[in-house]
Amino acid sequence: MSNTKVAIITGGSKGLGKELVVDLVKEGYSIVTTARSNEELNNLKNEISSQFNREIQTLTGDLTKKDDVFAFCEFVKEQYTSIDVIINNAGFNTTKTLTETTEIAEMEKQFAVHAMTPFLIYKSFVAQMKSANHGYIINILSDQVRDRTRGGWAAYSTTKHALYGLGKVMISEAAENGIKVTNAIIGGMNSTFRNEAREEYLLPTDVASVIVQLLKIPKDIFIPEIIIYPKVYLTK
């Protein structure tokens, strides 16, 4: 067991999740992450080992399946007795379609990853955080939950709104126990999430650096919500 700070990051094998893993390793955190691709997780472990001479803990899993989420939570508890940071980063959007043409199965899968997984992880670790009167939970959200909601994104927008609402409940419930919760709303980001590169959008490295700064704020400062936009959103 380790006495260092411990961070859970879902979807840590690529994109923003990977940059968060790298940055938090640099900050001295022990990392536990999960993703669907065993190959990508192994590549990440090797990269962290070769660059930083550090080991991270990984478990391959499909967060659309509750049993895999439960298995991940148990895996974390086997490795560490306490958790300092939870970053609900995992997300995907495999369909852009109107509400009436959205498949039920697609809505269920996106709800499982975007809302149910953060809910289950919270249930698994919040008691320990409350007991320690310490912890930080960061929900990675899309600007779909704010002023850029639009038609044709039924499953993604709806389920990200669900996480936004869950995050606000977490904020209300957890603050009195010293636990910080931030809904981090990200505008367009040029990452593996997109099929085509958008050079005018945010870089995952830059977004990760902002998220890591949240973990460094003074103990008595709470930031319930932060919006991170690329310049193009504000100038067009």
Running along the chain, 236 residues long, what does each successive block of 10 average in pLDDT? 83 96 98 97 97 97 98 97 97 87 93 98 97 96 82 88 97 94 92 68 93 96 94 78
Q: Which two tokens stand for residue 131?
A: 């007991």
Asked if residue 18 is part of any domain, the answer here is: yes
Give the pLDDT of residue 1. Answer: 41
Residue recorded with tokens 């840590």: 12
Longest dimension (CA), the chain: 51
225 Cβ neighbours under 8 A, 6+ residues apart? 182, 183, 184, 185
DSSP string, 11-29: S-SSHHHHHHHHHHHHTT-
Angle between helices 154-174 and 104-111 (to 10 degrees): 30
Asked if residue 148 is part of any domain, the answer here is: yes
State if pTM tops 0.75.
Answer: yes
Give the pLDDT of residue 22. Answer: 98
Asked if residue 164 is part of any domain, the answer here is: yes
Asked if residue 220 is part of any domain, the answer here is: yes
Instruction: Say if CB 59 and CB 75 are below 8 A apart.
Output: yes
Asked if residue 209 is part of any domain, the answer here is: yes
Asked if residue 1 is part of any domain, the answer here is: no
Q: How far is CA 184 from CA 53, 71, 212, in A?
A: 30, 26, 12
Asked if residue 28 is part of any domain, the answer here is: yes
Asked if residue 130 is part of any domain, the answer here is: yes
Task: Give how many domains the chain has, as a whole number.
Answer: 1
CATH code of 131's domain? 3.40.50.720
In DSSP terms, which residues pair with 88 in a beta bridge? Answer: 139
Domain span including residue 74? 6-235
Give the pLDDT of residue 201. Answer: 82
